[in-house]
Structure 1
Amino acid sequence: MGLTKTEARALSADAEPYQRIAVIGSGSWGTALASVARRAGREVVIWGRDPQTIAAIRDDGRNPKYLGDVALPDGIEATTDMAEALERAEAVLIVTPSKTLREVCAKMRPHLQPGVPVALCAKGIEAKTGLLLGEVAASELPGHPIGALSGPTFARETVLAHPTAATVAFDFTYRDRLEPSQSPAARLALSMSSDSFRPYISDDLVGVEIGGAVKNVIAIACGMMSGAGFAENTRAALITRGMDEMKTLAENLGGRRETVTGLSGAGDLTLTCSSTTSRNMSLGTQLGSGLKRSECFDGKPVVVEGEVNSISVIDLAERIGVTLPICAAVHAVLHDGADITQTFRDLWSQPIEAEPKGMAIRFQHPFGDRA
């Protein structure tokens, strides 16, 4: 259920921000979020594995590996020592690739003070287990509120202080509903707020996580079609029907369809599917233009979250009996060697059905046999 009117009114009361925030991960998005928190007036420490990158952030105020041309706000601390990063942290943002989340949480566990909230800023579903990232973090960090920060955000625009909005989502406990202004979601949203960064509050962690995981797969589909020479009609159809796949999966896992129409769903999906600034869209575009996977990104080993997510999303969908045609098409091309042209021809020739699910109409497409 969503926040009641009483809860919404209560949020107008003064919430208390977290004064010291640890950002775990020194990639482009971690660097951007550290800048956001610092501009909001927080004490900020960023942790990373690479000593050279951390030394540059600490000594030069720049991240030479990511966003190296952008001067970061003064006062951001940086360290490769996890214990030092978490020593006085009141809230933590984990901004590492989804496939390393379990390892990073285990590394954090001995150093976190009791009850410190943790917000996940990567997007995906754990391979093999099919667990949402929030479930992974909860299993590794018992006793800590687990949430997510997600939305339509490119790191460069965020670090340059372009007006940006995102969603902060945590499950609400009974106490959080009695005092919503003191909930981790409200306090973290306040902690990150500035004149250029506007967070919204949600109690639907599942819905927010599903939006973040599935949108990357849909973006690859949009890129494939753009790279193959198709235009706006095709992309609009994929975005809209992709959003329906996000809604279906979220609802079947206990999330709300309504959440998927918000920043972490429709907003993020639209952004990611509209620009090759997104690595997901860029990968799809390169594949659609005829490049082999090994030739994409000039042969560099670039991690593309949607490529990994396409496996776990389809595995999860099959496990719970949900059909996701666009995600399945992307999975087939990326991992089964399917031909892009034929795969998407098959997608467009699937049985005709009603858009409102309640109409329950479905019959064979006249070109289905020729696809």
Structure 2
Amino acid sequence: MRITVLGAGAWGTALARMLACRGHDVTLWDYFPATLEAIARTGQNERYLPGIELPTGLRLEPDAGRAVDGAELVVVASVSRAFRTVTQCLERFTGVVVTVTKGIEYETGLTMSGVLRETAPRARVVALSGPSLALEVARGVPTAVVAAGKDAEATRQVQMLFHGPTFRVYSSSDLLGVELGGALKNVFAIGAGVCDGLGFGDNSKAALVTRAIAEMRRLGVACGARAETFSGLSGIGDLMVTCFSKLSRNRQFGERLGRGESVDQILATMTAVAEGYPTARSAHALARRLEVETPIIDQVYAMLYEGKDVRQTVQDLLSRESKPED
């Protein structure tokens, strides 16, 4: 199959590598031509996947129009803040578009599939999400994810395309729920990282993650998703790996915040985007719009955008009125 991957970050590169190694004709595009030039020169994406050799048959194309031309399936792996701009090249595309970007557009409250309904109106959209650290996938570590879409045929096609010996793909018809789980978990992972940075123990993080599940489900259902989706791979599964893994950029972001670094310092020195940072702003606005109680999201937002002291944030969460567990 002729496949184009838009975005040569860690996740886009890992998926392009996996598909190319299975014999597909894969083209990789990135917004920054220098990224593709470095890959061509070294045979690796040293910034995002150091030590991982890329197949020689992987084609690199700096022009988005040419990259998409002739593709039967497109994988969009750009950062969320650039997603709408990047996908403008799909206006006339009629094949399947797979979004692997986890985020919520601030201005509209749309998930990435919602953005694609506007930028790629003729495409059939499927989201691929779940606990899938890019470096582990590139190394062939056994991984399970979920493909979700409203078009059953397209969803099945994506499931079969990506499914392999070390990459198990389940399916779901709850596109919105799968996307929201993948986006919101990044916000909670920043909070989990703050716990690490402050030197708290496993009790603290387990409590935060458990309450995050309830909060994720509450907001997701208010948006129209199914409650049970958040008990699956794109909900609890992705939340666990992002909150606990040392490889998680969002957890790292929170840990540095908990150790006393400022948001500006962290943003200036991170080698890759922590999607929880923009998503905290989007999720906070979405929850206010829907009048949903989201205490963890609110406190992470306050730390990131209002300069709230991290220890005061924890104190405010702990001092909330006792209530039944939901």
Q: TM-score range by the shorter chain?
A: over 0.9
Matches within 5 A, 1:99-118: 99-110=81-92, 112=93, 114=94, 116-118=95-97
- Structure 1 residue aligned with 2:165, among 195, 198, 216? 195
Question: Which secondary structure state, in structure 2, belongs to the residue aligned with residue 304 of structure 1?
Answer: coil
Question: Which secondary structure state, in structure 2, belongs to the residue aligned with residue 198 of structure 1?
Answer: strand
Distance in 2 (alpha carbons) for counterparts of 1:319 and 1:282? 29
Post-superposition Cα deviations, 1:217-253, rounded to whole Å, max 9, x if no partner, equal 0000011111111010010011111011111111111
Structure of greater Rg: 1
Amino acid at match of 2:96: P
1:206 aligns with 2:176: yes
Match of 2:27 in 1: 45
Match of 1:168 in 2: 147
TM-score, reference length from structure 1: 0.84
Indicate if the aligned counterparts of 1:58 and 1:76 stay in contact, CA closer than 8 A.
no
Which ranges of structure 1 fall in alignment gaps of 5 or more residues? 1-18, 177-182, 357-371
Match of 1:331 in 2: 301
Amino acid at match of 2:246: T
Identity %: 39
Amino acid at match of 2:27: V
Match of 2:262 in 1: 292
Post-superposition Cα deviations, 1:36-92, rounded to whole Å, max 9, x if no partner, equal 212333221111133333244446532233224211134211111222211221111
Distance in 1 (alpha carbons) for counterparts of 2:314 and 2:46? 40
Question: Which secondary structure state, in structure 2, belongs to the residue aligned with residue 165 of structure 1?
Answer: strand
Q: CA offset at residue 302 of structure 1?
A: 4.9
1:279 aligns with 2:249: yes
Indicate if the aligned counterparts of 1:40 and 1:192 stay in contact, CA closer than 8 A.
no
Indicate if the aligned counterparts of 2:65 and 2:89 stay in contact, CA closer than 8 A.
no
Corresponding pairs, count: 326
Match of 2:117 in 1: 138
Which ranges of structure 2 fall in alignment gaps of 5 or more residues? none
Match of 2:220 in 1: 250
Post-superposition Cα deviations, 1:241-295, rounded to whole Å, max 9, x if no partner, equal 1011111111111111111111111111000000231111011101111122233
Post-superposition Cα deviations, 1:143-199, rounded to whole Å, max 9, x if no partner, equal 211221111111111111111111111113xxx4xxxxxx11111111112211111
Matches within 5 A, 1:213-362: 213-296=183-266, 299-300=269-270, 302-356=272-326
Match of 2:13 in 1: 31
Indicate if the aligned counterparts of 2:126 and 2:158 stay in contact, CA closer than 8 A.
no
Structure 1 residues 292 and 60, CA gap change in structure 2 (3 angstroms): closer
Distance in 2 (alpha carbons) for counterparts of 1:61 and 1:162? 21
1:151 aligns with 2:133: no
Amino acid at match of 1:96: S
Question: Which secondary structure state, in structure 2, belongs to the residue aligned with residue 168 of structure 1?
Answer: strand
- Structure 1 residue aligned with 2:55, among 73, 79, 88? 73
Match of 1:85 in 2: 67
Distance in 2 (alpha carbons) for counterparts of 1:320 and 1:297? 29
